[in-house]
Amino acid sequence: MDLIQTALVLLLVLFFLLAGGVWIAVALLVTGFAGMWFAGHPRPGDLLATTIWGESSSYTLAALPMFIWMGEILFRTRLSEEMFRGLAPWLNRIPGRLMHVNVLASGLFGSVSGSSAATCATVAKIALPELKKRGYDEKLSLGSLAGAGTLGILIPPSIMMVVYAVAADVSIIQIFLAGFLPGLLVMALYSGYIAVWSLANPDKQPPPEPEMSFSEKLRESANLIPCLLLIAFVFIVLIMGWASATECAAWGVLGSLIIAAWQRSLTWESFWQSAMGATRVTCMIMLILAGAWFMSKSMALTQIPNALANWVDGFNLSPYALIAALLLMYIILGTALDGISMIVLTTAVVLPMVQKAGFDLVWFGIFVVLIVEMAEVTPPVGFNLFVLQTMSGKDSNTVALAALPFFFLLVLAAAIITIFPQIVMFLPRLAFPAG
């Protein structure tokens, strides 16, 4: 059986397992064993054990559960309420007014959460009732919350970035640094759209809020200071190279516990819930990664990734044409898979092509994260759509249509960083000139 036939058989095995409702991690492991059989490996069980042990014992990977725990702790504080109160007074004169709180609060919480679903749920919990009470357009509220919730995986620290860095064997710190400016770009695009929409639909805007003095605004924003200090601390330590990503994650957990204690929301019950929540999410991700590692080893033995890369290379696609093809492929995958699965399923095949085309793997990581953001607002498995459907009581079609403009803004962001890769690479090259 030639490599093309082997690849098709393995793809069919994986497809039928996933379509049959088998856990993604188990489907990856079974496909890996099938690949070993085709490659004629005599002892696949030994390779499974050594692969999972060797990959999972990485010091770098220890950052993953710590960042997840950091987000779980802050999720159980009054951070979301304080964000709305602290940000709202500064936005009264901007077109769209309080609607921008969705974007700014999601960016702020995303920088300490690392999870898209957690960011979307946390901000929506407080913003949806407040915006509805004040008379803001419900469709724009839902769409902006769905889009802005994706900032949880683009603005560091991000669980998705850690997964990509481990799968692609690149520096987590460089990936984190690369995400800051694209994150600000996406926030600017979202806020710009909200402002333009508001100017075009003045009849759908509620009357402005009563003006506050500068000192009153500062008092309302005072409770945001600890969280902002935590974000600034993690960012400065990362960019100055004073600590590794894993050490920053540990400091982040400590800072989150201090903030929770300061807000008097840290109890034994909330501490235990945050620890168990972080454990469940970490175990799920690690199981998927274990399956992906084993399948990657299996694919390497079959020589399928190299053959596929050479096959694509034979079309003599320009770098931009290759990126456009990968963009389309990932968007299609996003209709059926979650972001982590998209990354771990494709890196073994896609990265050789990307490297041959001359793209930096750090840049490509941010590109992939942007596309994973699109998947979060793409039916039928967009997690942010599920979150908002549950919290708003609206049907899935209403939420998906509301999120559609923000999906296209993410496509625009992906195009911008492709044309201007310096947006992504500026901070990593500033911190690691020889990198």
**Pairwise CA distance, residues 82 & 222, whole Å:** 9
Distances (CA, A) of 103 to 48, 91, 150, 306, 394: 43, 12, 10, 41, 21
197 vs 204, more confident: 197
- Please name which of 85, 146, 155, 147 lies closest in space to residue 113, comparing C-alpha atoms: 155
Whether 126 maps to a domain, the answer reads yes
pLDDT of residue 367: 94
Which token pair is 407? 């999906």
Whether 32 maps to a domain, the answer reads no
- Average pLDDT on 158-186 reads 88
pLDDT of residue 363: 95
pLDDT tens sequence across 220-273: 788 777 777 887 887 777 667 777 767 877 888 888 888 888 878 888 888 998
DSSP string, 136-199: --HHHHHHHHHHHHGGGGTSSS-HHHHHHHHHHT--HHHHHHHHHHHHHHHHHHHHHHHHHHHH
**Pairwise CA distance, residues 258 & 264, whole Å:** 10
Expressed as residue numbers, the domain containing 262 is 59-431
pLDDT tens sequence across 39-96: 777 777 777 777 777 767 766 677 778 877 877 787 777 766 677 777 777 877 788 8
Q: Are the beta carbons of 253 and 278 closer than 8 angstroms?
A: no
pLDDT of residue 248: 78
Whether 53 maps to a domain, the answer reads no
**Pairwise CA distance, residues 353 & 359, whole Å:** 9
Q: How many structural domains does the chain have? A: 1
Q: Which pTM does this prediction carry? A: 0.75
- Please name which of 156, 79, 148, 187 lies closest in space to residue 384, comparing C-alpha atoms: 148
Phi, psi of 171, deg, nearest 5: -70, 125
Rg (the chain; Cα; Å): 22
pLDDT of residue 409: 94
428 vs 388, more confident: 428
For 157, which DSSP code? S
Whether 303 maps to a domain, the answer reads yes
Indicate the SS3 state at residue 52.
Answer: helix
Q: Of the segments 188-192, 231-235, 345-349, 354-358, which one has the largest average pLDDT value? A: 188-192
CA 236 to chain centre: 21
Whether 27 maps to a domain, the answer reads no
**Pairwise CA distance, residues 149 & 110, whole Å:** 8
Whether 405 maps to a domain, the answer reads yes
pLDDT tens sequence across 414-425: 999 999 999 999
pLDDT tens sequence across 121-138: 777 777 787 788 878 888
Whether 396 maps to a domain, the answer reads yes
CA 263 to chain centre: 27
Determine whether 400 is exposed, middle or buried from the number of CB atoms within 10 Å of its CB (0-12, 13-18, 19+). Answer: buried
**Pairwise CA distance, residues 323 & 252, whole Å:** 35
Mean pLDDT of the chain: 80
pLDDT of residue 59: 67
Residue % of the chain over a pLDDT of 90: 13
Whether 49 maps to a domain, the answer reads no
